[in-house]
A and B are shown apart, each in its own frame.
Chain A
């Protein structure tokens, strides 16, 4: 069973006379445990596609199914609730709530889920340890580097035990060292916890770390391939 499935997905913007096909008939299926990169130049439609998959945006046409649930049939409230329990998000930057500590940021979604303080604390601490931020639990985002902030965001994305994590250019604002370290963190969580990751990038170095690569251009998939194990 696929975790994510899109069927004839379109997102068309109208700019006066001209129309922009940001997502143009995309069919993809992603199964549990994948480590997939959506790759393409700037303006190719990566963000739009991820937003549609994450239920943050409405397609012009087509369907998005997450574990066979049709996002298009949900009310706004149901979608938010669905995202809370099924989708983890990592954005390009400024992911975190500035007034909350690293631990509280990770615990936030669990609090929204109604988890007890004890459970939140335990899971937040262990996730922060997993992303290599042991000892930084009480730091607010402003006291963390960009790379550390992104790792907190990854920990938060996992906190709700989602079906998959969507990351839109998570390394775009990071230097190469932080980029590599963030990817290692994601890889480790993918392997250890079997978490499904879908991330976008236009950086070839990041692309190389993915197992499956979906290349898009002008909203269309031009290549979709899984690397051989020995390639990694």
Chain B
């Protein structure tokens, strides 16, 4: 059995080189198609991955804890208990490398001219900067610091534009305290952060927890939210279940629950490549059917002779199928290799900011970093082989339709 297959493999391999130009064209078409599909989907996947990564690293962090109902009601009185002990218990979990307790409230940010609704995150500057990368996103001015200077605020670039404020400008924040009274204070802008997500930039402002405690008469043991950073995204579920055990009364959520759209785009992105590849292979498939038809029609007599001298139809059938599989496989592997080379070559990122201004508004980076999940390549090879098989079935059947004597009569 094995010997017979090797005979077919070697003869089909030689057969494809009988017409080098025609085979070359098919191989090139498959290679280019695969390259385009893989590279384009790697760009799309890279884009999504960057967005997700930034969304998680800057905005949500990996795990959050809230009092039950807080996320739904955003009622500032729905606080959770906090203490140094609780903080320590989180840090003690293997893999947790950042914990940031936060107050979170809806506020009105206003200047002399205009005002906008915002979300205030009141944080410990050091703990926050160890938990999210927001501190490093400050492109103008500085992040909040531990100094005694009161009422400082870091806002997003987009909000700064909307409010028409600059560094050192004053912004009035007014919000409800836990008793339901409206309280307010003036904050000085010390930093403006710049992310790729302008919706986020417009909505979230950062102040120091000490300031908010004083202004809204909150205490350190009752906070709204804890953000947790972990050192390995793979351990997300494991760590979050440990956190859930420690915070049984509270609501513990991973980023996938907090930003379902991010989690979803992550899952969808792994299908992108498959969809691209399948679409390309289907269209290439029609061309290959056509080519194999030509291949078969000009060899009808030869197949007749093969049948005459004792080669079974099934074997001839598989010989033709293998010829088509070879063409697809050579093209497919070439395309995969080319796309891997191109992906590696563009790991530093491709800057498309001049051509795609709308991207940032949608929360996508304008630096494209293609990404490929190597484990999907095996599946692509399988699909390429299947394309070769399916494209050759009809031609191969046609090759064997006739009696050998009829085939031999044709020249």
| Chain A residues engaging chain B, CB cutoff 8 angstroms | 47, 51, 54, 56-58, 76-77, 80-81, 83-85, 88-89, 91, 94-95, 97-100, 108-109, 111-114, 156-157, 160
Residues of B within 8 A of A56 (CB): 308, 403-405, 408
Query: Which residues of B have CB within 8 Å of A51?
Result: 405
The verdict on B14 contacting chain A, using a C-beta distance below 8 Å, is yes
- Verify A99–B309 contact, CB threshold 8 A: no
- Residues from chain B with a CB closer than 8 A to the CB of A80 are 307, 310-313
> Are A94 and B301 interface neighbours, CB within 8 A?
yes
What size tier do the contact residues of chain B reach? 20 to 34
Residue numbers of B with Cβ under 8 A of A are 3-4, 7, 11, 14-15, 17-18, 301-302, 305-313, 315, 403-405, 408-409, 411
Q: Which residues of A contact B310 (CB under 8 A)?
A: 80-81, 83-85, 109, 112-113, 160
Q: What would 7 A/B residue contacts be, using CB atoms closer than 8 Å?
A: A47-B409, A51-B405, A76-B313, A84-B309, A94-B305, A100-B14, A114-B4
Q: Name which residue of chain A comes closest to B411, CB basis.
A: A94
Contacts of B307 in A (CB 8 A): 80
Inter-chain contact A100/B312, CB cutoff 8 Å? no
Q: How far is the CA of A230 from the CA of B308 in the complex (A)?
A: 37
Interface contacts (Cβ under 8 Å), in number, total 68
Contact A89 B308 (CB under 8 A): yes
Q: Please measure, in the bound complex, the distance between the C-alpha atom of A99 and the C-alpha atom of B7, giving whole angstroms.
A: 13
Contact in complex: B403, A97 (CB < 8 Å):
no
Which residue on A lies nearest to B7, using beta carbons? A111
Besides A89-B309, A94-B305, A100-B11, 5 other CB < 8 A contacts?
Answer: A57-B405, A84-B310, A88-B309, A99-B18, A157-B309
Known: A81-B312, A89-B309, A98-B18. A114 touches B3 (CB 8 A): yes
Shortest CB distance B13–A (Å): 9
Closest to B13 in A: A99
Closest to B403 in A: A57
Contact assessment for B311 and A99 in the assembled complex, using a CB-CB cutoff below 8 Å: no
Question: Given A56-B403, A98-B18, A91 and B311 touching (CB < 8 A)?
Answer: no
> Please, which residues of chain A bring their CB within 8 A of the CB of B408?
56, 91
Residues of B within 8 A of A99 (CB): 11, 14-15, 17-18
B305 touches A91 (CB 8 A): yes
* Docked pose: A12 CA to B310 CA in angstroms: 26
CB distance from B272 to the nearest CB of A (A): 41
Q: Which of A56, A80, A114 gathers most chain B CB within 10 Å? A: A80
Asked whether B11 lies within 8 Å of A83 as measured between CB atoms, the reply is no
Q: Which residues of A contact B305 (CB under 8 A)?
A: 89, 91, 94-95
